[in-house]
Amino acid sequence: MTGNVPVVTLLTAPGEPEPPGLASLHEQTELRLADDEPSLRKALPGSEILLVTDFRTEAFARAWPCAKQLRWVHATSAGVDAVLFPEMAQSEVVVTNARGIFDRAIAEYVLGVIWAFAKDTRRNIELQNEKTWQHRDTERVLDKQLLVVGAGSIGRQIAKLCGAIGMQVHGIARSARDSDPDFIAVHANEALHAQLQQADYVVVAAPLTPQTQGLFGAAEFDAMQPHARFINIGRGPIVQTEALVDALQNKTIAGAGLDVFEEEPLPPEHPLWSMRNVLMSAHMAGDFIGWREALSQQFLDNLARWKAGQPLQNIVDKGHGYVPSQ
């Protein structure tokens, strides 16, 4: 690419403004803008690079026949399931993602949810609003067992942070690792049910792939301990929502902290809204102040590597749907 001006298409969600921090992109590329299927079909012919900020997009799959010159797709998200439709996955187009940007913020979110459950924060707020003084004993997190399902970069940050406060952290990954600097042990996928039986807290930090879609259903919640809490900061479709609701209503598990859902936004009539053993947020666990600018800089850094003929960072293994651990 040295000496040439690359053609870049930026695909945003409908009505979404251009991300901050991309001013230099106008100067060093031929930049085309799209926010739906018709505009993307118009922009893709001749484009070598596609920058995707809409992690829910279906427009790319529908406009794929127009992407004849495409060589690189960058997703400004950790999950890349929206851009890994079969034709794309089988192509020679390189995919990169936002690995590393959200890891620490998500780990802090998980730790906050764990402490909120342990210290009964929801009830504290309710009692404060009622102006009621009610003493209770609360839990400690020291030596509690945490199972992180998905031992990639986000899972590793969760393990580091929670391990630092004395939790006993195990992981689940495609293959087992007996020796790991951040986990007591990393177990293979086949050991999921056995590890669920031991955990006080279970955190889903896995990407959405054909292998993880619907991974947590009735059998998995039945395998958990009645006092255990379930936290999902991965992707909503990894969890079968009806099975989770049943487990919470029947007290099969003690509670859930949810940042992602099968259907987003969560409908106002959904029973999860009114459950006192549920803590929820609006798919924002990793969104710290300044995250948009950080994503833009990450892409610009990779673009500089592209133009210099250097290897790209954060290349996704399209067969597995994530960036392999280093």
Give residue for tokens 């106002």.
268
DSSP structural state of residue 44:
-
Token representation of residue 267 = 């409908």
Q: Which residues pair with 289 in a beta bridge?
A: none
Give residue for tokens 């969560």.
266
Give the DSSP letter string of 68-129.
TT--EEEESSS--GGG--HHHHTSS-EEE--TTTSHHHHHHHHHHHHHHHHTTHHHHHHHHH
Torsion angles phi and psi, residue 220, rounded to 5: -70, -40
- CA distances in angstroms from 140 to 125, 165, 224, listed in the order given: 19, 10, 19
CB 170 within 8 A of CB 184: yes
Active site amino acids? 235, 264, 283
- CA distances in angstroms from 146 to 121, 155, 298, 323, listed in the order given: 20, 11, 31, 24
CB 29 within 8 A of CB 7: yes
CB 77 within 8 A of CB 40: no
CB 247 within 8 A of CB 272: no
Closest CA to 4 of 215, 303, 212: 303
CA distance 234 to 261: 9
Token representation of residue 168 = 């006993």
CA distance 283 to 76: 15
CB neighbourhood size of 304 (10 A)? 11
